[in-house]
Amino acid sequence: MTEEQAERNLLTGSCHCGAVRITLPVMPTVATKCNCSICRRLGGIWAYFELGTVQFEGHPEHTTDYIWGDKTLRIIRCRHCGCATHWEPLDGVLGARHGVNLNNFDPALQARVKIRHFDGAETWTFIDT
């Protein structure tokens, strides 16, 4: 396998059971781990992309979502294995920011990404040390 192929393979991930497959448009450089009430429970590592640029297979056929609070976004998970795959704004405007959970990808992908810690619980700022 060439280095280019290896890199391309890293861009494709899936939920645990494989019903939902995700292909990123580009290699992310930064991702966010947030401590807000939902993120800390999910343990998501979110990389952000423009809505419409990430390719999903098995969504929405195999997914369900969770909407709460001020109802601005939905967190989407596989309805079979329960793994959170991504979140998207409820208005669904293409180009808007949405998050993909890098925990559904090969660990080698996360190893290449700078993970920033975001205090979504209180100060709404990054709390990197």
C-alpha pair distances (Å), 56 with each of 40, 63, 100 = 24, 11, 11
Residue 76: helix, strand or coil by DSSP? Answer: strand
Q: Which of residues 31-90 bind Zn ion (CB under 5 A)?
A: 78, 80-81
Residues 6+ apart with CB under 8 A from 75: 38, 42, 65, 66, 67, 84, 86, 87
Q: Identify which range of 7-15, 41-49, 96-104, 117-125 contacts Zn ion by CB under 5 A.
A: 7-15
Q: Point out the residue whose Cβ comes nearest to Zn ion.
A: 78
Q: Which of 19, 24, 31, 45 binds Zn ion (CB under 5 A)?
A: 19
Residue 9, SS3 per DSSP = helix
Q: Which stretch binds Zn ion (CB under 5 A): 12-20, 30-38, 47-55, 92-100?
A: 12-20
Q: Which is nearer to Zn ion, 7 or 57 (CB)?
A: 57
Rank residues 79 and 116 by Cβ distance to Zn ion and give the closer one: 79
Q: Applying CB under 5 A, which of residues 15, 22, 34, 39 lies at the interface with Zn ion?
A: 15
Handedness of CA 10, 100, 97, 29 (dihedral sign): negative
Q: How far is the CB of 12 from Zn ion (least distance, A)?
A: 15
The helix/strand/coil state of 48 is: strand
Contacts with Zn ion, residue ranges (CB under 5 A):
15, 17, 19, 78, 80-81
